[in-house]
Chain A
C-alpha cells in the first residue's frame, strides 16, 4: 500500500468515522462484553472438545489468578509499607544492605513448580483427548474433508458418493450430524488457513502439503459460526464459514436433498410479480453495512431450516430460466458446478448446486438473500477485496452484468435449493 494513497482516504473517511464513533457512544454501549456470549465464544461452548479446552483454560486461569492475588498483595503491601513518606525519609540513612535469602528463593521456586504441575496435568490429558476421536467412538465417527482456498472453504463428504462426480461437495457451510464425533481432514490449497469453530473446537491450521485433521462433536443440533484463523492475504478477515449440526433424521434428509442434482423449477407462466430492484447494482453500495439482517440474527438456525425449503410462491419460473441461460452465457459455469444443470466448473471454485439452501454466500460473509446475492454478483470486488471470482472471473472473462441480468441470476441461484 502506498502512503500517498492513504492520505486522501483518511481525509475522506475521517468525518464518517467521527460520526460513527459518536453515534455508537450515544446509542449507549451495554457494558456486558465481559460475559463473552458471542457466536464465537470460547467460553459458552457446545461440544466436548471445546469443553475440554475450556476446562484447561479455566485451570490456568484460576491458578494464575491465585498467584496473581498473592504476589500482587505482597507487592502492593511492600510498595505501600516501605515507601518514603517525606523528603527526610528519602535522605535518611540507607536501610540495611541485605543481599537475599536462598531459603525463600528455593521455597518460591518449589511453589511455582507445584503450580505448574497443577496446570500441566489437565493440559497433558486434554492434549491426548482433543487430538483425535477417542478409540471407543471411532466407529461412530463421521468423516469430512475441509479444503481452504483464498478466501472460502470447500467441504467434501467422502461418505456420500455421487454417481458420476465422486462425492458430495459443498461450500462455506458444513453440515454435520449432532451428537456424533466428526473427523475433519484439513487441507490448505494455496496458502495457510485455519479451521476454527470456537464453540465446537479450537483451531487447527490448514497447511499446504500437510495432512492435518481435527475432531469435534456438537452436543445438540445448532448453528455455529466459524472463521479462518490464520492470516491468508487480503480477505482473511472475511473468510468465514458456518457449521450446522443436525439430528440424525434431519441430517439424512439433508444428505438426500444434497446428493440429488440441482433443483429444476417447473416451467410455469410468469407469476407477474414485480421484479426486485437492488440497490446493489451500484458499486458505491455502502460497504459498512452489516452482512446480515436483524431477522436472521434473531434465529439463525430457523433461518437455515427455512432456506432448505423451496418457495414456489415467490418464484418466477421465467426469470429463473433466464438466469439459468445467463449462468451459461456469462461463463459462470466455467468455474461453478451446478450439478445436473450444466456441464462445467472445476473443484477449485464453490459448488453452487444447492447454493439456495445455504444461509450465507461469499465465504460466510453475507446472508444469502436476494439483496446480498445481487450485491455479491454485481460487485464482488467491493464486497470482498481481491477475491478470486473477481480477479480471475470478472476481469479475465470480462463479465458485464446489467441490472436485469443480475435479477435473473439471483432468481436462478435462489432457486437452487
Chain B
C-alpha cells in the first residue's frame, strides 16, 4: 500500500499552504478518525489556477491531497472533475480497478489503498473537499454572471 510515490508526497506535500487570494474555502472532516482539511481553490475563467490545503491527516490523506494538487492545477474545472471521478471510481474498486494511467498519472499509486476500505476515506478526504469547493465556485460564478 505504501508506494514510494505516496511516501514522497507525504514527506514533501505539494500545495500545503494558506492560499491567498482564493475563491472558495471548504472544511471537511472524516468522522471516523477525526482528520480534517481546510482547502482553498482559485479558479479563473473556468481553470483551476491554484489549490492550497491545511489540516491534519495520515500519510494516505496527506499524499492523496498533494498528488491531487499537482494533478489538477492548470486544468479546467470540467477536466478536474473528470479526474476526480476517475479517482473516486478507482478508490471504490476494492482492489479490482484497472486505473486509467493517462487520466490519473501519479494517482494510480493509490490503487493498493482501495483494498483497505477503512483507508479509502483517507485517500478521498482532499478530493471530496476539492469537488465540493469546485462545485461551489461554479455555482458562485453562475450567480455572479446572472
Answer whether A and B are interacting partners.
no
B interface residues (Cβ-Cβ under 8 A, vs A) = none
